[in-house]
Amino acid sequence: MDKLHLLISAILLGLIFNSCLKDEENDKKKNVKITIYPETGYGTSIMSDVWTQPLIFSDSDNGDKKQMMVDIIFEDLNFNYERGYKYTFKATKVWMQEPPQDVSSIKYTNISLISKEKVITQNIEEDIKLYISPNTKI
């Protein structure tokens, strides 16, 4: 009887530890080129009331559609951003099977700089609508 309890306990323990492991082998991966543009955008993170100027980027897999670098995971992205320069990186795009809460299900890993190119930009003025509600914290 003790051997049966020991066997059942070992099986249950194995199932518990197996379910806690990350399921990274089911993540879909693809090599892409990321472009970070010389201009910044205006936006805020999920569940945040702080407006920032996030970087604008696109990747070769997404048809070079520009998007803000907010709530997206970039692992090992270490570089000093300078306005007026267009950066191109090589990276692995990963569609996470079980992403963390409140972020995108896509993350970029193995990021390495390919080029840094000076871009002449024009001064642009842009009108932004800012809505203030009674719940705004000052």
What are the pLDDT digits (tens) for 73-117?
888 888 888 888 999 999 999 998 888 887 788 889 988 999 999
Tell me which H or E stretch contains 116.
strand 106-118
What are the phi and psi torsion angles at 120 (to 5°)? -85, 120
Q: What is the DSSP string of 77-92?
A: ------TTEEEEEEEE
Number of neighbours of residue 92 by Cβ within 10 angstroms: 14
pLDDT band (50, 70, 90) for residue 24: low
Q: What is the pTM of this model?
A: 0.66
Q: Which pLDDT score, from 0 to 100, does residue 136 have?
A: 58
Residue 75: what residue type?
A: E
Q: Is 110 exposed, middle or buried (0-12, 13-18, 19+ CB in 10 A)?
A: middle
Using DSSP, state whether 99 is helix, strand or coil: coil
